[in-house]
Amino acid sequence: MRISVAIDGPAGAGKSTIAKIVGKKFDLMYINTGAMYRAVALMAERKHIKPEEVEKLVKLVDTMEIHFENDDLVLNGINVQEEITMPEISAIVSNYASIPEVRSKLVQLQRNIAEKYNVIMDGRDIGTVVLKDSKCKFFLTASAKERANRRFKELTERGLEVNYDEILNEIIRRDTIDSTREVDPLRKADDAIEIDSSNYNINEVTEIICNYIENILK
């Protein structure tokens, strides 16, 4: 039986960290769909392609070969995981991820992977669009302040000088863009299990998700 697990939620909710742990436990291929959109933003930034230049963006996406190695995104043969998680990419990724033509191409790529492998994917539209038929859907969230705290800690531990208030404002801005965009907005799937992780640690959230998946697989 093919297994697919969908984890959706806003920026900084801990989706990627938890998805990696759950994926290893159940031997699932981890697909960070948000990282794929970040890769598009990174390449567009490098090529000086603006979000409104849709035709150029579509051609750009067609030149991108994306796969994952040890949970890191490899773009055209180069590991760009550290680059795509920099604050400057976080600040622009929603502008590119909201473009219907870009989403269409990446969603099809994500679906193709899910048809071939047992997967766990995290993103904004996995349960509602990419893996609509999945039996294991989760919507992971947390307060904006808690998500900003986590992102601030993550970036400072990497030696980056960042401002907490700027991170908080950016998270709030991204929440607005992601939840109000015209195509595939961020929302909880009707059949998804919602988990507010504001007062849970990583292990507690992981246990909730793993227990649910185990019950489904029985």
CB within 8 Å of 141: residues ≥ 6 apart: 9, 10, 13, 194, 195, 196, 197
The CA dihedral of 212, 216, 217, 218, to the nearest 10 degrees, is 100
Residue that the structure tokens 């790529």 belong to: 109
Tell me if 159 is assigned to a ligand binding site.
no
Tell me if 176 is assigned to a ligand binding site.
no
**Residue 188 one-letter amino acid:** K
Tell me if 97 is assigned to a ligand binding site.
no
Quickly list H helices, the chain. 15-25, 33-47, 54-62, 81-84, 87-90, 93-97, 100-116, 144-157, 164-180, 202-217
**Residue 144 one-letter amino acid:** A
Distances (CA, A) of 122 to 63, 130, 149, 158, 192: 24, 10, 21, 23, 13
Tell me if 10 is assigned to a ligand binding site.
yes
Tell me if 77 is assigned to a ligand binding site.
no
41 within 8 A of 64, measured Cβ to Cβ: no
**Residue 108 one-letter amino acid:** Q
Tell me if 127 is assigned to a ligand binding site.
no
Tell me if 51 is assigned to a ligand binding site.
no
Tell me if 15 is assigned to a ligand binding site.
yes
Provide the annotated binding site for ATP: 9-17
Binding site: residue ranges? 9-17
